[in-house]
Amino acid sequence: MNRFLTLLTACAMVLGLTALFGPQAVAAAGCRVDHTVTSRWQGGFQAGVKVTNLGEPVTGWTLEFTMPDPGQKLVQGWNAAWSQSGSTVFAVGVDPNRTLATGTSADLGMTGSFTGANPEPTAFALNGVACTDSAEEPPPVDPPAPGTGTPVDINGKLHVCGVHLCNQYDRPVQLRGMSTHGIQWFGKCYNSASLDALAEDWKADLLRVAMYVQEGGYETDPAGFTGRVNGLVDMAEARGMYAMVDFHILTPGDPNHNLDRAKTFFASVAARNADKKNVIYEIANEPNGVSWTAIKDYAEQVIPVIRAADPDAVIVVGTRGWSSLGTSDGSDENEVVNNPVRADNIMYAFHFYAASHKDPYRATLSRAASRLPLFVTEFGTVSATGGGAMDRASTTAWLDLLDQLRIGYANWTYSDADESSAAFGPGTCDGGDYSSSGVLTESGALIKNRISTPDSFPTG
């Protein structure tokens, strides 16, 4: 090859690398990868890959790795832009993972086909620098027990100030966390290991405890369910998280059907937990097929029962049309603005499922946010059935809006239910691992990414 051709080849290589890594990419000084094949089926597999940047911040980074079996093919990847060339797979960081600050991670996942015996990827490199592979390391030691610096330590007892939830410094805070699934079905998912993961890996501020009243819930064993809720309040408290006690009415949708049960339940739970700083009461999950005046009437009977035992806890009231502020019934926030519940220190619930509820619902929330204290006590990234495809664009639009308005939220669900709204793949709760990226679903990875970012709670 003459000198000109050699020079041309060298230029082409540099241009090719620039195209691959992007002009802003900086070589990472170190990285670590945790990967798990979460499921396998005939000829196919799903894997989670969590990459942690241990070096300088990188923007527009590329993670590459080898698929050792020549028959392997990338089918689909998420939380990055994925491609394959020969046996090498590339994942390029895109928003919200485009920049990886030092010490932060991106939870990626993929499905692939394979023909050989072993679909485990190997030889990971971030921007060309080899990563340590957790599969080849001894297991990590337990993180230190949480002490100061937890959400409850920093914020203390909460109260409503104007349209915001405020902390002990009278400054607005946004709590971000997860909802359990129905504790009558998924109790196995709420244990020391899973709550450690929620507090330490997810950095959640909040655990919402969904206690269904019907469907095998509270009405079948009032004392047993009251005890289980109290146990979860204590487990959240031990980890510095707020606990939202959700009286999960759903079918029938008129909360007055359960009025006596609500009074009995809340009298007991509020008396027992009155001295705690971390409890928020949610008195009616999703009223439906019922007027706002009937919901308000229920609230004005239940709230005094809670206040008698625990005078200063924040209470959240469900709203008409499955807690849509009436939107799903063709109404809007004005029915509440014009006829609010007569009580102090209360908020109103707003729920959405991102694939079903879009602009008209975002418009309601945006208007209502300057008139009413709101808490998104439940939302899903998927359709209102709890299943179907995740809607990433709509979820992102919603969460950006909630961040901007400083409205707190809890995602449905921190569970391994066999439905796309669940954060963990089926079977996760039968084992003890809630931390590997491989145990997360597509929804779980997206939500964990969002809520594990620093809170920056105001303290002055």
Residues annotated as part of the active site: 286, 378
What does DSSP assign to residue 200?
A: I
Instruction: State the Cα–Cα distance between residues 294 and 328, nearest whole angstrom.
Output: 17
Q: How far is the CB of 237 from ligand IDC (least distance, A)?
A: 24
Give the residue carrying structure tokens 């914020």.
155
**Closer to ligand IDC at the Cβ: 45 or 412?**
412
Exactly one of 56, 120, 215, 455 binds ligand IDC (CB under 6 A); that residue is: 215
246 binds ligand IDC (CB under 6 A): no
DSSP line for 93-118? --TTSSEE-TT-EEEEEEEEE-SSS-
Instruction: State the Cα–Cα distance between residues 33 and 78, nearest whole angstrom.
Output: 16
The pattern of x and - marking residues 276 through 315 that bind ligand IDC according to CB under 6 A reads ---------xx-----------------------------
Dihedral, CA of residue 224, residue 376, residue 337 and residue 363, to nearest 10: -150
Terminal alpha carbon distance of the chain? 69
**Closer to ligand IDC at the Cβ: 239 or 351?**
351
Q: How far is the CB of 388 from ligand IDC (least distance, A)?
A: 10
Q: How far is the CB of 322 from ligand IDC (least distance, A)?
A: 5
Instruction: State the Cα–Cα distance between residues 438 and 37, nearest whole angstrom.
Output: 6
What does DSSP assign to residue 440?
A: B
**Closer to ligand IDC at the Cβ: 232 or 250?**
250
Tell me which stretch binds ligand IDC (CB under 6 A): 129-137, 274-282, 384-392, 432-440.
384-392
Counting Cα atoms < 13 Å in the Cβ hemisphere of 275 gives 1
∠ CA(133), CA(134), CA(136), 5° rounding?
Answer: 75
Q: How far is the CB of 378 from ligand IDC (least distance, A)?
A: 5
Output the residue with the shortest Cβ distance to ligand IDC: 386
What does DSSP assign to residue 131?
A: P
According to CB under 6 A, which residues from 412 to 441 bind ligand IDC? 412, 417, 419, 421
**Closer to ligand IDC at the Cβ: 65 or 379?**
379
According to CB under 6 A, which residues from 316 to 375 bind ligand IDC? 322, 351, 353
Cα separations (Å) of 164 from 12, 144, 315?
A: 56, 33, 13
**Closer to ligand IDC at the Cβ: 339 or 385?**
385
Q: What residue ranges bind ligand IDC (CB under 6 A)? A: 215, 250, 285-286, 322, 351, 353, 378, 384-386, 412, 417, 419, 421
